[in-house]
Amino acid sequence: ELQQKVEETELLKMELQMLETERVRLSLVEEKLMDVLQLLQQLRDLNISKRALGKILLSTLESCRDPQPGKAHLFEVLDTLHHELTACELLQSQPLETAQSHQSLSNPLVISC
């Protein structure tokens, strides 16, 4: 009976560790998603054309078509999109303070279509 309790305890520890690992992974995805949404908001405030935004998105999807082994595909796509958005010439030419001051006061992450 004691051996069974020890095994159950070890199993629970492993499950807890897996849950913690998943929580950290989701936290990283959430942070990257928030960064991407803020960049999209800034680009919207700078009146980026739908064509330019579409090109960025298609470039991201094309470069992430074949997932890299050992890397979560969702995080890879978000990371690539973040990189593509930060490389956008419109953001490069705009001072950071000006781009951030245009954000909506109610919820800067809501993007209207």
Instruction: Output 107 or 41, whichever has higher pLDDT.
Output: 41
pTM over 0.75, yes/no: no
Q: How confident is the model at residue 90 (pLDDT cuts 50, 70, 90)?
A: confident
Instruction: Name the region of 49 (left: φ>0; alpha: ψ -120 to 50; beta: rest).
Output: beta
Taken as a whole, the chain contains a residue count of 113
DSSP assignment string, 37-55: HHHHHHHHHTT--HHHHHH
Rounded CA-CA distance 47/40 in Å is 10
Q: Which positions ≥6 away from 100 have C-beta within 8 Å?
A: 42
CA distance 81 to 102: 22
**pLDDT confidence of residue 99:** 42
